[in-house]
Amino acid sequence: REAFVWSRIEHPNLHPLRGYHLQPEARLISPWCRHGNLLDYLRVNLLSIGWTSLRSCIYQASYGLEHLHSREPPIAHADIKPENVLINDLREAARSDFGLGRVLHDPDIPSGFTTSKTVKGTFKYQARELFDGGQTTCSSDVYAFGGLILTAR
């Protein structure tokens, strides 16, 4: 499922999928990001990173999310959190981990790839409507992105 969603997207602020192997067990292949994820990057560089650099990382992560949401059909990430934003060697942010991603409103895609009745993702970043039985949407991604910003500041 993750490879299916991930393989449909390409953007400078979405971490690229380079390939996958199914045997002997499923493996996804993507470039190494030596700075790790946004949360780790901020912990290590807390004293040296300036507001301009932090703001740039947040903007870059938002551009990746905007690209997912502006596709036709849109893709909801469904697990927005600082741990799913990777920092590359140029200190640029790219959204990653598309395991819970959903291609929304596409009748040509098998329903197992597009719908889920179970609330998944990271509890502290989830929109309230997901706890009341709602489906993951672009709006619930935006809510979670607000939580990411609050965590990063």
The per-residue pLDDT for range 92-132, each reduced to its tens digit, is: 999 888 777 777 765 555 555 544 445 577 888 899 888 88
Which pairing describes strands 75-76 and 85-87: parallel, antiparallel, or unpaired? unpaired
Q: How confident is the model at residue 143 (pLDDT cuts 50, 70, 90)?
A: very high
pLDDT of 146 above 60: yes
Residue 64 host element (H or E): helix 51-70
φ, ψ (nearest 5 deg) of residue 103: -80, 120
Q: Phi first, then psi: give them for residue 85, nearest 5 degrees.
A: -120, 115
Active-site residue, 79 included = yes
Average pLDDT over residues 131-149: 92
The structure tokens 């870059």 sit at 60
Around Cβ 24, how many Cβ atoms within 10 Å?
6
CATH number for the domain spanning 103: value is 1.10.510.10
How many folded domains does the chain comprise?
Answer: 1
Kindly name the residue from 79, 89, 108, 141 that is annotated as catalytic: 79
Q: pTM, whole model, 2 decimals?
A: 0.82
Please report, as a single letter, which amino acid is at residue 135.
Answer: Q
Please give the residue range of the domain that contains residue 56.
Answer: 2-152
Query: φ and ψ at 28, to 5 degrees?
Result: -105, 140
CA 110/CA 88 separation, integer angstroms = 33
Predicted confidence (pLDDT) per residue in 34-85, tens digit: 999 999 999 898 778 888 889 999 999 999 999 999 998 898 998 999 999 9
